[in-house]
Amino acid sequence: MNVEPWLGIAGIFITGVLSYGAARYAGKASVKVKELDVDGQAYIRAEGITQGLIETLRKQIEDLQTDRASDLARIEKIELEVREVRDHNNALIRYAYRLIDILRTVGHGDKIPTPPPNGIHL
């Protein structure tokens, strides 16, 4: 019996099995590379979206800070005006009390309208 044909057939079989295994491994590696490429592209897109959102939020924060500074300036101005009006009203009330005292002193207390009109608190 001649062994060489069997060795050739065995060599061909082993080569076929090894070729099949190598092709299968190469296919899996190719799929893994494609998955990594897709994941990398998704990461790049997500990073771009995230950066865009961060920039939008920074702009909104900057706008809010500008609006807040403007509002604080307006509030300070309004508070000053309220203090001026309150001080003026208090001065008018003190003046009215002095006039009432003078009217009572000179005997005209009966001509003082009581109670004061609505909205006037003496």
Q: Tell me if 121 is assigned to some domain.
A: no
Q: Can you tell me which residue has the tokens 């909205």?
A: 119
Q: Tell me if 106 is assigned to some domain.
A: yes
pLDDT in tens, 1-46: 565 666 666 677 777 776 766 666 666 656 565 666 666 677 777 8
Question: pLDDT band for position 85 (50/70/90)?
Answer: very high
Please give the full DSSP string across 109-121, using - where no structure is assigned.
GGGS-SSPPTT--
Q: Tell me if 17 is assigned to some domain.
A: yes
Helix and strand totals (H; E) in the chain? 1, 0
The token pair at 112 is: 């003082």
pTM: 0.47
| 100, 112 Cβ separation under 8 angstroms | yes
pLDDT of the residue at 52: 85
Domain range enclosing 98: 4-111
The domain tally of the chain equals 1
pLDDT of the residue at 97: 86
